[in-house]
């Protein structure tokens, strides 16, 4: 690989690879199984004392939570007496979380926390962004001008998808904070690690798209420069060893511009 091309491709490959790893961590966010929690959650709420977990109908009697965290595929809760988030519920990318105060709280009243599926369904966009980012990373290895242009476009598409995914995570965080503070003033709601990993991926993908695009423009300009060859090489091609004048009208003996098609026809005519 030429040095000029490597100077542009290596930074783009490194940034694209890091972005893919970060988006992968967001994709495998909480929970990975029905009972296993991961650190890559989107939103986490603590000090939510004495709220019944209503999402699991079979555990409504006495299942009081102190904290919970929301991920791409479900949520995990920490009940009273637990030292970790041991109770996870994995349904799909459009799950819902309900918790309330009292013996028979409803999801629509002021004594309950309700995170509907409309707020969690959009979290799957980060998975789409990961797939597009991996494709862009693979295309970045190619040095063909057309493939480089496609790689730049795919990187920019991954950047836009990640930006959309981050906006969805912001909306989920704001809504969760509003719902939690409605029933627990002392509760703390904060973004999870997946929130910040998505944020970091945005400038990395934009940098990759811009770098690949700059490399494509430079290579396109370099390929447009006329080729040069020595008089001996020209003589072997057209059967003459005379020097062609340069652009200033002076003859060069060491290197000669590549002939145009018109000049080749004229040389062939004189030779015949």
Listed as own residue / partner, the contacts of 90-98 with beta carbons closer than 8 Å and 24 or more positions apart are 90/31, 90/33, 90/34, 93/120, 93/121, 93/123, 93/124, 94/118, 94/120, 94/121, 95/120, 96/55, 96/120, 97/55, 97/68, 97/70, 98/53, 98/54, 98/55
Strand partners, 52: 64, 100
User: What mean pLDDT is predicted for residues 146-159?
Assistant: 89
User: What mean pLDDT is predicted for residues 84-105?
Assistant: 75
Residue-wise pLDDT tens digits, 54-78: 666 544 445 788 888 998 888 888 8
- Record the pTM: 0.73
Residue-wise pLDDT tens digits, 208-256: 988 887 765 665 555 444 444 455 555 555 554 444 444 444 444 444 4
Instruction: Indicate the burial class of 222 (C-beta count within 10 angstroms; 0-12, 13-18, 19 or more).
Output: exposed
Residue 272 has pLDDT above 70, yes or no: no
Tokens of 163: 């930006």
Any residues with CB less than 8 A from the CB of 146 and at least 6 apart, and which?
none
Q: Label residue 62 left, alpha or beta by phi (over 0 means left) and psi (-120 to 50 means alpha).
A: left
Residue 24 has pLDDT above 80, yes or no: yes
> Would you call the peptide bond into 127 cis, given omega within 30 degrees of 0 as the criterion?
no
Helix, strand, coil percent values for the chain (each to nearest 5): 50, 15, 35
What does DSSP assign to residue 117?
H
Beta strands in 30-162, from DSSP E residues, in sequence order: 43-46, 51-53, 64-70, 74-79, 87-90, 97-100, 112-115
Least confident of 45-49, 119-123, 199-203: 45-49
What pLDDT score was predicted for residue 124? 92
Q: Name the one residue in this structure whose structure tokens are 């997946």.
A: 194
Q: Class assignment of domain 3-222? A: mainly alpha
Domain residue extents for the chain: 3-222, 228-271
Residue 161 has pLDDT above 90, yes or no: yes
């Amino acid at each position: 690989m030429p040095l000029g091309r490597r100077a542009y491709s290596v930074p783009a490959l490194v940034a694209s690879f890091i972005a893919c790893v970060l988006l992968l961590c967001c994709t495998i966010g909480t929970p990975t199984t029905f009972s296993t929690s991961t650190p890559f959650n989107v939103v986490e709420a603590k000090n939510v004392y004495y709220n019944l977990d209503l999402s699991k109908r079979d555990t409504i009697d006495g299942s009081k939570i102190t904290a919970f965290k929301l991920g791409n595929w479900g949520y995990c809760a920490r009940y009273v007496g637990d030292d970790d988030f041991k109770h996870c519920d994995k349904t799909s990318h459009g799950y819902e979380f309900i918790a309330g105060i009292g013996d028979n709280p409803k999801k629509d009243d002021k004594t309950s926390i309700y995170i509907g599926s409309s707020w969690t369904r959009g979290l799957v966009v980060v998975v789409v962004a990961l797939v597009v980012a991996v494709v862009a990373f693979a295309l970045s290895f190619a040095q063909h001008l057309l493939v480089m242009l496609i790689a730049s476009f795919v990187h920019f598409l991954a950047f836009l998808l990640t930006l959309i995914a981050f906006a969805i995570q912001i909306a989920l965080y704001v809504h969760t904070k509003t719902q939690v503070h409605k029933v627990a003033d002392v509760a703390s709601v904060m973004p999870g690690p997946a929130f910040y990993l998505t944020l970091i991926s945005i400038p990395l993908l934009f940098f990759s798209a811009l770098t690949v695009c700059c490399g494509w423009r430079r290579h396109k300009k370099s390929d447009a420069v006329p080729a040069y060859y020595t008089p001996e090489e020209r003589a072997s091609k057209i059967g003459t060893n005379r020097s062609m004048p340069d652009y200033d009208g002076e003859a060069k003996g060491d290197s000669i511009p590549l002939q145009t098609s018109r000049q080749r026809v004229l040389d062939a005519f004189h030779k015949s």
